[in-house]
């Protein structure tokens, strides 16, 4: 590697990459597609099918994975392709927004999903 190709990190070498990314983060409104996909998933998670359970697990992993469990990506194989696409869209929302569901005023919906699918975790 020649010296002109070396990165010049004077002063930044001690700042973690995550901190630099957080400083440059600029929030924006979710897209219509993201809002609609999330609304469909929330509604479906309130159902009582195997797909509903899978969707609930996906959403609850976002709410609090330590308390309600993570999400096994192979469970995507158990849902219809349209649901999988909605999950992909919501995954991008989560990655882009850096917020939990309550930021989007979804706490009541998520509490209802918890009551249905994780009642043992209620106080």
CA-CA-CA-CA torsion for 35, 51, 65, 31, nearest 10 degrees? -10
Tell me what the mean pLDDT of segment 20-42 comes to: 83
Q: Which residue has the tokens 């309600």?
A: 68
pLDDT at 65: 92
Angle at 123 between CA 44 and CA 69, to 5 degrees: 50
3 band by pLDDT with thresholds 50, 70 and 90: very low
pLDDT at 12: 54
Residue 42 lies in a domain: yes
Residue 44 lies in a domain: yes
Secondary structure (3-state) at 72: coil
Print burial letters for 13-40: b (CB count within 10 Å at least 16), e (below 16): eeeeeeeeeeeeeeeeebeeebeebbeb
Query: 115: domain range?
Result: 30-121
Residue 67 lies in a domain: yes
Domain count within the chain: 1
Across the chain, what does the average pLDDT equal? 86
Residue 8 lies in a domain: no
Give CA–CA dist 37/39, Å, rounded.
5
Residue 76 lies in a domain: yes
Residue 18 lies in a domain: no
pLDDT at 5: 46
The top-scoring range by mean pLDDT among 7-16, 18-27, 71-80 is: 71-80
């Amino acid at each position: 590697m020649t010296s002109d190709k070396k990165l010049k990190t004077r002063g930044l070498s001690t700042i973690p990459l995550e901190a630099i990314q957080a400083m440059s983060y600029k929030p924006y409104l979710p897209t219509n597609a993201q809002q609609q996909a999330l609304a469909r998933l929330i509604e479906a998670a309130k159902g009582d099918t195997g797909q509903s359970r899978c969707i609930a697990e996906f959403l609850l992993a976002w709410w609090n994975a330590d308390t309600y469990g993570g999400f096994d990506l192979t469970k995507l194989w158990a849902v219809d392709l349209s649901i999988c696409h909605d999950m992909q869209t919501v995954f991008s929302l989560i990655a882009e927004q850096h917020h939990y569901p309550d930021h989007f005023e979804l706490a009541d919906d998520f509490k209802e999903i918890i009551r249905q699918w994780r009642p043992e975790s209620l106080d």
